[in-house]
């Protein structure tokens, strides 16, 4: 299959390297120094996978004319503009591994609903200063039809990615999975950015865990108001947290921190990696999006709103 990957950060590199090694035709769309690094040394992974790949690299989206599947792996910032530069591309499928849920709306505006799949990326890595990527978590990439249910094209795509080495599954309930991840991710984002601590540390601290619990309850209330079902899963079991007492919910969060300590002790959220690199943060497209939906639905989200304002001033 032909894949075009927009963005060569951690997730784009992980997917591109594995798919290329598996024999698929991969085009990486990157820009600036990152594009020059890839042209010079290719995609280099270490950590869970130790491999190198040399797919085609282009620095101008206009050079891409067609592909089977477009994968968007950039930060959520300026996505609308980036997608417009690819509006001419002939393709069969497009999906995004970005954080948040705004991504599918933006893809649909450019390529139409029938070509867009939902996706939840439960794998991670870190782009290092030398241009290599450290592959730190390989749980699962879920892909599915936005309208729900399974389809041959989704099952084939998930099989190809999984066979390449990035764990993947076809999901019949992708909207539920996307929002379940989003609500848990939003709850952790402010703590990752403001504490700058390794993931397990801010999860295991009872004080920051309580803040996470409060945000998780607010985002769960938002999902309920929008008629979206949530399920317990990665990165946080939000429905379980919403039902539990404060003490019980804090222990749930701390238990997840313990799991990170044992299995992924060096894991940092991508937002924290952006802070440490001095990169722009995608807080408006994620936290801001949730707050706007909350205002529209009449759902108060005071904890998230206060931390959003602090982040906006600081960054």
Looking at the structure, do residues 200 and 244 belong to the same domain, yes or no? Answer: yes
Looking at the structure, do residues 161 and 211 belong to the same domain, yes or no? Answer: no
Q: Long-range CB contacts (< 8 A, 24+ apart) of 153-161?
A: 153/92, 153/93, 154/117, 157/1, 157/69, 157/93, 157/117, 160/1, 160/19, 160/22, 160/24, 161/15, 161/18, 161/19
Looking at the structure, do residues 61 and 15 belong to the same domain, yes or no? Answer: yes
pLDDT digit string, tens, across residues 254-265: 999 999 999 889
Domain harbouring 196, CATH code: 1.10.1040.10
Residue ending a domain, among 140, 172, 204, is 172
pLDDT digit string, tens, across residues 143-202: 999 999 999 999 999 999 999 999 999 999 999 999 999 999 999 999 999 999 999 999
Q: What does the alpha-carbon distance between residue 243 and residue 226 come to, in Å, rounded to a whole number?
A: 18
Low-confidence ranges of the chain (pLDDT < 50): none
Q: Which domain holds residue 269?
A: 176-314
pTM equals 0.87
Looking at the structure, do residues 299 and 258 belong to the same domain, yes or no? Answer: yes
Looking at the structure, do residues 159 and 140 belong to the same domain, yes or no? Answer: yes
Looking at the structure, do residues 233 and 245 belong to the same domain, yes or no? Answer: yes
Residue whose tokens read 């709850």: 187
Looking at the structure, do residues 134 and 266 belong to the same domain, yes or no? Answer: no
Question: Which pLDDT score is estimated for 276?
Answer: 87
Residue ending a domain, among 172, 198, 229, is 172
Nearest to 5 by CA among 24, 140, 22, 269: 24
pLDDT digit string, tens, across residues 235-258: 899 999 999 999 999 999 999 999
Query: ∠314-201-131 over CA atoms, to 5°?
Result: 70
Q: What is the domain count for the chain?
A: 2
Looking at the structure, do residues 194 and 50 belong to the same domain, yes or no? Answer: no
Domain harbouring 55, CATH code: 3.40.50.720
Q: What does the alpha-carbon distance between residue 267 and residue 48 come to, in Å, rounded to a whole number?
A: 13
Residue ending a domain, among 172, 206, 236, is 172
Looking at the structure, do residues 94 and 69 belong to the same domain, yes or no? Answer: yes
Looking at the structure, do residues 192 and 120 belong to the same domain, yes or no? Answer: no
Cα-Cα-Cα-Cα dihedral of 160, 166, 170, 173, to 10°?
A: -160
Question: Which pLDDT score is estimated for 76?
Answer: 84
Looking at the structure, do residues 154 and 233 belong to the same domain, yes or no? Answer: no
Looking at the structure, do residues 59 and 186 belong to the same domain, yes or no? Answer: no
């Amino acid at each position: 299959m032909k894949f075009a990957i927009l963005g060569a950060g951690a997730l784009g590199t992980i997917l591109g390297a594995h798919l290329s090694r598996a024999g698929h035709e991969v085009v990486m769309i990157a820009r600036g120094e990152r594009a020059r690094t890839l042209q010079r040394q290719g995609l280099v992974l270490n950590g869970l996978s130790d491999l190198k790949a040399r797919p085609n690299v282009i620095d101008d989206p206009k050079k891409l004319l067609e592909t089977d599947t477009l994968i968007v792996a950039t930060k959520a910032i300026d996505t609308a503009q980036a997608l417009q530069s690819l509006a001419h591309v002939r393709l069969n499928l497009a999906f995004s591994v970005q954080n948040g849920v705004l991504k599918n709306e933006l893809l649909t505006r450019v390529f139409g609903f029938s070509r867009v799949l939902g996706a939840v990326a439960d794998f991670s890595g870190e782009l290092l200063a030398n241009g290599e990527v450290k592959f730190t978590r390989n749980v699962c990439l879920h892909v599915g039809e936005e309208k729900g249910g399974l389809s041959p094209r989704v099952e084939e795509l998930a099989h190809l990615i999984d066979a390449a080495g990035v764990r993947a599954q076809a999901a019949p309930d992708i909207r539920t999975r996307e929002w379940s991840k989003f609500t848990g991710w939003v709850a952790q984002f402010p703590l990752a950015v403001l504490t700058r601590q390794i993931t397990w540390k801010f999860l295991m601290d009872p004080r920051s865990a309580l803040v996470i619990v409060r945000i998780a309850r607010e985002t769960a209330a938002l999902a309920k108001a929008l008629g979206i079902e949530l399920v317990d899963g990665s990165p946080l079991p939000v429905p379980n947290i919403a039902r539990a007492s404060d003490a019980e919910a804090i222990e749930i969060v701390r238990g997840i921190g313990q799991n990170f300590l044992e299995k992924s002790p060096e894991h940092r959220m991508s937002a924290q990696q952006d802070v440490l690199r001095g990169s722009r943060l995608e807080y408006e497209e994620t936290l801001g999006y949730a707050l706007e939906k909350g205002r529209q639905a009449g759902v108060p989200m005071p904890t998230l709103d206060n931390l959003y304002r602090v982040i906006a001033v600081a960054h």
